[in-house]
Amino acid sequence: MLTLASKLKKEDGGKTGRASGASDSTHRISIRDRLLTKVSVSPLFLLFAGTCKASFPDENKLHHFQLAVSPDEGYYQSGRFQFEIDVPEAYNMVPPKVRCLTRIWHPNITENGEICLSLLREHSIDGTGWAPTRTLKDVVWGLNSLFTDLLNFDDPLNIDAAEHHLRDKVRWIKGVRSFIHHIRRRFNQGL
């Protein structure tokens, strides 16, 4: 089975890089962070430069970061939505844990930040769930697309938002635009 540790060990020519006395947990985190730097995190800055920006609350923990998504089209255009992404030790065998930190009126995101996105599920009945071949690039693409082409009113997690859209699309759009205006005002004020 290919894991982050085996991939990094192969890249380093078989050296593990473990300092004497380092715990297994520290070693695993170190391997995970080193590989994330080489394979996943660095390219994210270039790939989604226009709509997504990653930031690291603790630059020593690259497995825990935040992603700001600013859609450039669709209902949520000009909004700024903050996500927290935590890459578990078992990554690439399990998906990252993702939560939306920005309160939002969205059919696929609850007001508590839970997200309905197939590729974040370990076991998905539609066959589009997590697979070891997926990367953080796929996760970022999926989060970005939740505001455009993956916006799904037919299989919502936030049923109230989806039903509101079905009942009165015009008022729903006005509510989303008003909400985005409120978020941008708070962001510009530094709150």
| pLDDT tens-place string over residues 117-168 | 989 998 776 677 898 888 888 899 999 999 988 889 988 999 999 999 999 9
Q: Which residues are catalytic?
A: 116
Closest by CA position to 102, among listed 88, 113, 117: 113
Q: Which domains does the chain have, with CATH numbers?
A: 22-188 (3.10.110.10)
Long-range CB contacts (< 8 A, 24+ apart) of 76-85? 76/106, 76/147, 76/176, 76/180, 77/180, 78/180, 78/184, 79/147, 79/179, 79/180, 79/183, 79/184, 80/183, 80/184, 80/187, 81/147, 81/183, 83/143, 85/136, 85/139
- At residue 174, does pLDDT exceed 60? yes
Torsion, Cα 142 171 156 52, to 10 degrees, reads 10
Question: What is the widest separation between alpha-carbon atoms in the chain?
Answer: 64
pLDDT for the residue numbered 167: 95
Report the C-alpha gap between 183 and 191 in whole angstroms: 9
pLDDT, tens digit (0-9, with 9 covering 90-100), for 18-57: 444 444 444 444 566 665 655 455 555 556 668 888 888 8
